[in-house]
Amino acid sequence: MPKILITPRSITTGGHPALERLCEVGFDLVFCTPGKMPSEEELIALLPDCVGHLAGVEPITARVLDAATALKVISRNGSGVDSIDLEAAAARGIRVCRAEGANSRSVAELTLGLLLSLARSIPFSDHHLKGGRWQRRRGMELAGQTLGLVGCGQIGRAVAEMALALGMQVIAYDVAPAASPAGSPSFRYASLDEVLRAADFLSLHCPATADGRPLLGAAELAAMKPTAHLVNTARASLVDSQALLDALEGDCLAGAAVDVYETEPPGDDPLVKHDRVVATPHIGAYTWQSVDRLMQIAVDNLLTHLP
């Protein structure tokens, strides 16, 4: 029976009904270590006999693809493919498919939750009250604040619409700007520099840079207001983590929220432990509805492109 490797952490832990469609047409499913992102060595050990790979966010390198001699299709249960060596895949005739747009709503709603958490210090208040301490931080209302977006594709536009509904002003940077969300006079496009300088809250919704370098380093963070907050639900590599930590420690930035990390789990990451950082364990697409949409599309792509 032809084999398909399954590696998304949410699926190796609990499975998903969509996988039954692969079994029904004769595929044998192979799973990596449950609940863990597979290492390069584990992928090399598991992929050689597989014709398909239903992939998560784990790096799929040229070395992995060299070992995957039978592989025809990589189907991501997400929209990002920057963890895959696309040039190496193309050279080997391996098709790479995405579940584009399936997680837009869930990531946008998490972003809104993180904005509110930062504005009202919700995790801080919960932590101290559960510890028996009546300690409060004065918050701010989002209405009238300026939300800066870096990237205004499907996720960015969904975030913009939610922010506009709350009375925020939205200013966005995108390399290929589309129509303004809802045609609102409270939304406009601008240069990256203007977005950085204007934002009270800055939220990232773009791919990693082509060369892998941070989009936001010390200079970019220094251009922001010292009262501003940063939200990253996109890619860890977009932000220089040491520069962000330095900005927080030097009171050059008021706070940050992070859902993505260079290493997952992040271990003893000082950003995760920082008092003015809200940290979540890469849950942007981790809702019942989003996982269902992602898996159905990922399985559809495998069935479409595998003989």
Residues identified as active-site: 235, 264, 282
Give the 3-state DSSP-derived string for 238-304, with helices as H, strands as E and coil as C: HECHHHHHHHHHCCCCCEEEECCCCCCCCCCCHHHHCCCEEECCCCCCCCHHHHHHHHHHHHHHHHH
Instruction: For residue 190, give the DSSP letter.
Output: -
Maximal C-alpha separation, the chain: 63
- Answer left, alpha or beta for residue 26, where phi above 0 means left and psi between -120 and 50 means alpha: left
Report CA Rg, the chain: 21
Cα–Cα distance between 191 and 195 in angstroms, integer? 6
CA dihedral 137, 170, 214, 38 (to 10 degrees): 80
Whether 60 contacts 83, CB under 8 Å: yes
- The phi, psi pair for 296, rounded to 5°, reads -60, -45
Which amino acid, residue 93? G
Cα–Cα distance between 157 and 100 in angstroms, integer? 14
Instruction: For residue 77, give the DSSP letter.
Output: S
Q: Minimal CA–CA distance to 64: which of 42, 79, 81?
A: 42
